[in-house]
Amino acid sequence: MLKLGITGGIGSGKTTVCRLFELLGIPVYYADDESKKLLEEDQLVKEQVIKTFSDSILNDLGTIDRKKLAAIVFNNKEQLEKLNAILHPAVGQHFENWLKKQNAVYILKEAAILFESGAYKQVDKVLTVVAPLELKIQRTMKRDGVSREVVEKRIELQMSDEEKIKRSDFVIINNEQELLIPQVLSLHKQLINK
C-alpha cells in the first residue's frame, strides 16, 4: 500500500483536497486532528505537556486549554519545538496503528508540518497543496476567527511553500482559479495505476 503524505501551509486548503480523496474512497489520516485528540485523551501525553508547560495551561475543569497552549507555542519557536517533541512521536505511533487497519491501494497522511516534524519519513511520496499568501491569510482569518497578525506569525513558523515544493513529488494548486477536482482525479489515476 502506497503511503502519500499531504502537506501545505496554513490556509492552503489541505483539508478540502483530502475530502476530495475521501470521496474517491481513499482513507485519510488527519495528523493535526489526531494530535489534538491525543492532547485531550492520552494520559501520558497530557502529563508530559503539563509537566513541560506548567498547570497554567489548564482550564477550570483541569483539562488542557488549547488556546492558552497556542498562545505560548505560536509566539516562541523553542516552546513549539518542546510541544512537538512530545506530540510527534505519539502521533507517529498512532498513525502506525491506524495504518494496520487500512486496506486500500493507497492512503493519505495529512500533516501541516509533515517535513518539519519528520513525519515525511513515514510516507512513500509527498503531495503539497499551495495557494497564494493573501488567500491563505484570508481563509485562515475567516476559519479560525483570528487576526491577520496571528495568521502571519503562524505562517512565519512554517516551512515556505517553495521549500515544500522542492521536497514534494506532487503539487496541487488551490488558488480558486485552477480547478481542484481535475487535479485530484489526475493524481488519483496515477496512484491507482502504479
Q: pLDDT tens digit string along 108-134?
A: 999 988 998 889 999 999 999 999 999
CB 30 within 8 A of CB 110: yes
- Residue 157: its pLDDT value, please? 79
- Of the candidates 116, 130, 144, the one whose C-alpha atom is nearest the C-alpha of residue 16 is 130
pLDDT band for position 55 (cuts 50, 70, 90): confident
Arithmetic mean of pLDDT over the chain: 92
Indicate whether 194 pLDDT > 80. Answer: no
Q: Residue 1 in 3-state DSSP? A: coil
CB 42 within 8 A of CB 93: no
Report the share of the chain in percent with pLDDT over 70. Answer: 99
* Selected residue with higher pLDDT from 20 and 156: 20
Other C-beta atoms lying within 10 Å of the C-beta of residue 191: 19
Of the candidate ranges 8-12, 124-128, 153-157, the one whose mean pLDDT is the lowest? 153-157
- Residue 150: its pLDDT value, please? 87
- Of the candidates 160, 154, 151, 180, the one whose C-alpha atom is nearest the C-alpha of residue 73 is 154
CB 137 within 8 A of CB 11: yes
User: Could you tell me where the beta strands, DSSP code E, fall in the chain?
Assistant: 2-7, 28-30, 106-110, 125-130, 170-173
- Residue 155: its pLDDT value, please? 87
Of the candidate ranges 30-44, 65-79, 82-96, 177-191, the one whose mean pLDDT is the lowest? 65-79
